[in-house]
Amino acid sequence: MAIELRKVSAGERINLSKEQAGLKKFKIGLSWDVKEGVVADLDASLVILGDNEKMLTDDSIVFYNKLEAYSGAIKHSGDERSGAAEGDDETIMVDLSRLPADVKIMLAVITIYGAGQSTPVTFGRVKNASVRLYNGDTNQALYQFDLTEDASRGTAVEMARIYLKDGEWRFTTLGDIVGTSANGLEDIVNKYKR
């Protein structure tokens, strides 16, 4: 029986342990296109949080400048600056079986850095921003969430939350604006730092 990609809307909650029984590895794929004439670098990151919803350590984030954590249990594909890649621009692979017990929440975020711009480059100048969740063993796309125009004024958007509740991993789509500064990644770190 073939599994079809399911499009989900903001705020939708999925119990991965039930809907995807046996899932031990997943991949988050983030993609976007920049509108013509816009110069900006978009970045995918995964912020790792504990029960208190704060970063476990001062560097509990996997992003373009720190490509892995927990001895490779979380791995980032590397920085894609143009947004011109076919399919996902950046991906992050997570092996749930290798995560430390204190990892309770992982936030998939997209941030924008408009280097040298006089005003921040916002998501209003980006199109087709989306997050996909894949089975990490089969590379089968399971769920897709497309960012709406509601985030057009932000430079940092929380796309999805993967969290442990009652011993089961769950996935919630968000689309929440976290930052509006010129460097959206700084806004993310400031919100979740210990």
- Would you place residue 1 in the very low, low, confident or very high pLDDT band (cuts 50, 70, 90)? very low
Q: What is the pLDDT of residue 150?
A: 65
- Would you place residue 191 in the very low, low, confident or very high pLDDT band (cuts 50, 70, 90)? very high
Dist. CA 49–CA 32, nearest whole Å: 25
User: Cα separations (Å) of 84 from 33, 42, 104, 151, 162?
Assistant: 7, 11, 33, 21, 27
> Is it true that domain 6-192 has CATH number 2.102.10.10?
no
**4-14 per-residue burial string, b: 16 or more CB within 10 A, e: under 16:** eeeebebeeeb
The backbone torsions φ and ψ at residue 51, rounded to the nearest 5 degrees and listed phi first, read -60, -30
Say whether 187 sits in a helix, a strand or coil: helix
Could you tell me how far CA 90 lies from the centroid of its own chain? 9
Answer yes or no: pTM beyond 0.85: yes
- 69-108, pLDDT tens digit by residue? 999 999 999 887 665 667 888 999 999 999 999 999 999 9
- 17-62, pLDDT tens digit by residue? 999 998 999 999 988 887 888 777 788 899 999 999 999 998 899 9
For the chain, give every domain's residue range.
Answer: 6-192
